[in-house]
Structure 1
Amino acid sequence: MNTLQVSTLLIGAALTGASLFAVAHTEEYFDSVESPHGGQMRMSGPYHLELVARDKEIVLYVMDHANSKLNTKGGSGKASIQTGKDKARIPVKLDQAGDNILKGTGDFSIKPETVITVFIELPGREAYSASFTPLKPKTKLAMKTKATKPQADSGNAHHHTHH
């Protein structure tokens, strides 16, 4: 491996680490910002995935960390839709439906408690997954700063000494 490749790898690793640290692509972060298509966004490996779910239809937009479209040609995916207490899962196959879109339909409805787990595989890349709760209300990031008080350790309050 020549020095150019090594330095490129190091710079890439540094940039990835820095951007993850600086922006913190957490669920709270994604739920507090407007997504490009009005869906819910999650980070999965090298991807930003945006899920737009309606009754009987799922649309998944695939982007990189800069929210630029990633071509899904030759790619595929599947979604597992879980609604209600019985935890029954409805599988939905996702096929390419545009530049950076995977889409699928099935007999399901989206409720506030619906959890959708998506698996995506693009040619020449590893498979990645992400979980979505499409009807989860948007949150304001600033309000999510609850200070957690350290719990006093009651186990050390009573010292027994034996003479």
Structure 2
Amino acid sequence: MHKSLATVLISTTLAVSLPVSAHTEQHFDNITTPHGGQMRMAGPYHLELVTKDKEIVLYVTDHGDNNVATEGGVGKASIQVGKAKPKTSVKLEPAGDNMLRGSGDFSVTPDTAIIVFLKLPEYEAQSARFTPLKPKAKPAKKSQAGKTPAGANEAHDHHMHH
């Protein structure tokens, strides 16, 4: 009895986690997006954020990358550079097909985080966090991180010999 219950639980967990892993931030950061922006998943949507010259364009597609109409929708982008306050808020309005667009007085740096809030008719409101200029993670960082614990252990071993 217990064995079959455990099997059911494990199978359920796998079934639930598989679709999610296909849409990780790492996955999106490693693919070429249709408009060259950064893509994130938010509820039923894939959101692609493109920033240029104080303008934000948000492209909305479904999980099959089909355009989602933004007519009648509302959006907001909250832009924060590093830990600086205040945040800059930019209203996003429908701009044809599957786009929302807004402009404001902001600049995007590698430390910039943009949180987008989106509400389309007949759908629940969603939000996603973007870091448009954040450098892509490089595998080289892992090897350095690996050295730190080893160094700490050596110091610890040395201490124990006394």
Q: Which residue of 1 aligns with 2:81?
A: 83
Q: Which residue of 1 aligns with 2:70?
A: 72
Q: CA deviation at 1:85?
A: 3.5
**Residue 111 of structure 2: aligned partner:** 113
1:8-157 maps to which residues of 2 (within 5 A)?
18-21=18-21, 23=22, 25-139=23-137, 143=139
Q: Give me the whole-angstrom Cα distance separating, in 1, the residues matched to 2:16 and 2:43.
A: 11
Asked whether the equivalents of residues 38 and 48 of structure 2 are also in contact (C-alpha less than 8 Å), the reply is yes
- TM-score relative to the length of structure 2: 0.72
Unaligned runs of 5+ in 1: 1-14, 152-163
Amino acid at match of 2:94: Q
Question: Matched residue of 1:20: which SS?
Answer: helix
Which digits, 9 at most, give the CA deviation of each residue in 1:31-67, with x for residues without a partner? 1111111000000100000000123100000000111
Which ranges of structure 2 fall in alignment gaps of 5 or more residues? 1-14, 150-162
CA contact (8 A) 1:37 1:52 kept: yes
Alpha-carbon distance between aligned partners in 1 of 2:58 and 2:134, rounded to the nearest angstrom: 17
2-structure distance, mates of 1:86, 1:73: 33
User: Would the aligned equivalents of 1:39 and 1:51 in 2 still touch at CA under 8 Å?
Assistant: yes
Kept in 2: contact 1:32–1:139 (CA 8 A): no
Alpha carbons 2:82, 2:113 under 8 Å: kept: no
* Structure with the larger RCO, 1 or 2 (CA within 8 Å, 6+ apart): 1
Matches of 2:93 and 2:53, distance apart in 1: 17
Counterpart CA distance in 2 for 1:104 and 1:64 is 21
TM-score by length of 1: 0.72
What is the identity, as a one-letter code, of the residue corresponding to 2:106?
A: F
Give the distance between the partners of 1:129 and 1:84, measured in 2 at CA.
19
Shift of 1:16: 8.1
User: Runs of 4+ in structure 1 displaced over 4 angstroms?
Assistant: 15-18, 146-149
Per-residue deviation at 1:111?
Answer: 1.0
How many residue pairs align between the two structures? 133
Q: Deviations over 1:79-125 (max 9, x none)?
A: 00111442320110000111000000001111110100000000011
